[in-house]
Structure 1
């Protein structure tokens, strides 16, 4: 989400005064973030498409989230980078509205995706018996449709119709075609930030609080059952043979359930970390956004701080694939195999030979 404030006014002077090596360093940094975000999220999409093990309901939301991050990376980031490197807006009023709309839209889509994922994890762990009855394919389609359609109401519609800003800013836009500022009025600031961040974040925190409590309860339950099974076996046999290679009878009965619970917990942990990183990346921006929008001139903020807040938020789009690769073994293995197929020309032939055997 973009609120370009006074940064665009002073950006031309700032770029002119910036040493060449710093400008090159800035260009490399911004381009690196953009390329990593695009390639990383495309890797997520391709990996889920290629590997059947990753095709589940939760990963439908993960793939859709990756597509939203690709949208941010291909449209919102390059326009912002062009302003930061050139010091001026070069694409006219219409593209300025498109840029701001996509920025607001994609950011809102991303966080509502995470909100849906938190609800999915809540039912998978806290209400596992109800999960297949509630989280059906039809409901997932409805949720994804809502995620992609609803944010239009706070992005493209109010921005293209001019409802988001003030009359003074409309006059400023007409007189300054080389400045793309996103100055919002107070009602739009409150409504858009609530829908885009504050309400979904609150829902996510509540959902993961219940998930955490249930995870702790289940961990204690599994520990007690394993201990009880061990004591029962010892009481029946008198002792446990050191040469026993198989599992205890009680452990064997509970093994499948325990494995399923651990799998759900790992998925919840990975997605919980993604949620936490998203909040950490966007909380500073939205705090600044609502504060500056409500108190106006009474809350000045240096331009460099505004730029840093934007790109910390954008950085989130390239962090999710790294989180999958580090914390989720299934994604990590899929990423490795996908990258091997990209960088090893003989991979496809070898795979065909293996499948024919």
Structure 2
């Protein structure tokens, strides 16, 4: 994310060299101030630990289980989790230190690195989500062309472009000091205990557009198209008079090849729709977390001191954005069956729930033995014939 000048107005408007921010250990600090610092510190630590643990869990699950590795979409999810993990270890601790101590303690060079990382990882996150939305668009709108369009090479190129674009909008202008004014540079030289990130209007418009507004607009449009297509396909299936329902073993044996193909297609569509719904929730969570920040960032950068900006507001929008880094793993665990199963095994929850975890479609998924998507349909059909259960979790 980006820092704006208003974050530090309370300091800049006072005598040079005097830090008026409440410091831990000051005997004049009221008891309520200690309580607020304790609450803020606890909340920030929980967000950091949640982001670290959750995103490591996502990456480990995809590396360990073949079923997750076989899905092209999960390549983007791993890269996104990596970006969120870097936020939690390379951005959040520095921001938390500013919130608690009221000053910057790591020198001018690290200040530029911190600001660059903040912009880099927030931009990478939303560009990854934009890639994911395009992947789901092709899977839903053009399912028969998906394998030819979303090849491994193209996915690698998209991920590389995402990271390179994020670097170009962050490290190059910040390290070159193109993003700010000469007055701000002098201000930073005079105040080494302050890490300011005061942007000029041109950089505010360009950076926020590339990092948020344009990708967010694309994603909203794409997910609207996905939603309309999903509804159309569901209506088409209902009109055809064929529905996925519980069948006895004898009924499944009597299915014709055409009926079996229709059932498999129906299951595929439901699986894709559930994946699109999950990723739509991820995108919605991201917009919820970052829309307040980017709105605040653009408005305060364009109108300057004319816009009132309480310190509590700037802190709230910053950490609401950081909170997104630990939300995605929670969404995966709750809405995505494959990730839910993998997380259970990695956390050894299967010992509490039984030796094996069976998903709701009759496929027993064991650790390290996930089948690919096509083979899982065959296994599901065989298992269903044996136990008479074809219920799908999707």
Q: Same fold (TM over 0.5)?
A: yes
SS at match of 2:195: coil
Structure 1 residue 226, shift from structure 2 partner = 2.7
Aligned partners of 1:229 and 1:251 also within 8 Å: no
TM-score scaled by length of structure 2: 0.81
Deviation at residue 165 of structure 1 after TM alignment:
0.4
Write the deviation string for residues 142-163 of structure 1: whole angstroms up to 9, x where unpaired. Answer: 1011111111111111001110
Structure 1 match to 2:228: 213
Deviations 1:185-221 (A, max 9, x none): 0000000000000010011111111111110011111
Equivalent position SS for 1:163: coil
Report if the CA contact (8 A) 2:244-2:263 is conserved.
no
Instruction: Classify the secondary structure of the residue corresponding to 1:178.
Output: coil
Distance 1:131 1:185, change over 3 A: same
Number of aligned residues: 337
**Aligned equivalent of 2:209, options 190, 194, 198:** 194
Distance 1:253 1:7, change over 3 A: closer
Is 1:141 aligned to residue 156 of structure 2? Answer: yes
Aligned to 1:3: 3
Q: How many angstroms does 1:253 deviate by? A: 3.5
With structure 1 as the length reference, what TM-score do the two structures score? Answer: 0.89
2:66 to 52, 67, 75: 52
| DSSP 3-state at the match of 1:2 | coil
CA–CA distance in 2 between the matches of 1:292 and 1:229? 54
Greater helix fraction, Structure 1 or Structure 2: 1
CA distance in 1, matches of 2:220, 2:154: 22
Do the aligned partners of 2:344 and 2:350 also contact (CA within 8 Å) in 1?
Answer: no
Displacement, 1:22?
2.1
Provide the residue aligned with 2:50 in structure 1: 36
Q: Deviations over 1:160-187 (max 9, x none)?
A: 1110001110110011000111100000
Contact 1:6/1:181 (8 A) holds in 2: no
Q: Does structure 2 retain, via aligned residues, the 8 Å contact 1:3–1:182? A: yes
The CA distance in 2 between the partners of 1:166 and 1:226, in whole Å, is 67
Matched, 1:115 2:130: yes
1:342 Cα deviation from its structure 2 partner: 12
Going from structure 1 to structure 2, the CA distance change for 1:185 and 1:158 (only over 3 Å counts) comes to same
- CA contact 1:93–1:177 (8 Å) conserved in 2: yes
1:23 aligns with 2:30: no
| Structure 2 equivalent of residue 129 of structure 1 | 144
Q: How far apart, in 2, do the equivalents of 1:27 and 1:167 lie?
A: 35
Partner of 1:95: 110
Pair 1:229–1:73, CA change in 2 (3 A): closer
Alignment of 1:13 onto 2:27: no
- Residue from 318, 332, 351 that aligns with 1:310: 318
* Structure-to-structure mapping, 1:1-357, within 5 angstroms: 1-10=1-10, 12-16=19-23, 17=29, 19-55=33-69, 56-227=71-242, 245-246=251-252, 249=256, 251-340=259-348
Per the alignment, do residues 5 and 91 of structure 1 end up closer, same or farther by CA in structure 2, a change over 3 Å counting?
same
Deviations 1:105-144 (A, max 9, x none): 0000000000000000000000112211211111111101
Unpaired runs of at least 5, structure 1 = 231-241
What RMSD in Å do the two structures reach over aligned CA positions? 2.5
**1:9 Cα deviation (Å)?**
4.9
- Partners of 2:9 and 2:95 in 1: how far apart? 14
For 2:279 and 2:300, locate their aligned partners in 1 and report how far apart those are by CA, in whole Å: 31
CA distance in 1 between partners of 2:82 and 2:75 (Å): 11
The verdict on how the C-alpha distance between 1:169 and 1:228 changes in structure 2, with shifts beyond 3 A counting, is: closer
Does the 8 Å CA contact 2:4/2:196 hold for their aligned counterparts? Answer: yes
Contact 1:3 1:181 in 2 (8 A): yes
CA contact (8 A) 2:4 2:301 kept: no
Cα drift, residue 49 of structure 1 = 0.6
The offset of 1:5, in angstroms, is 2.3
> Cα–Cα, structure 1 residues 46 and 343, in superposed 2: closer, same or farther, change >3 Å?
farther
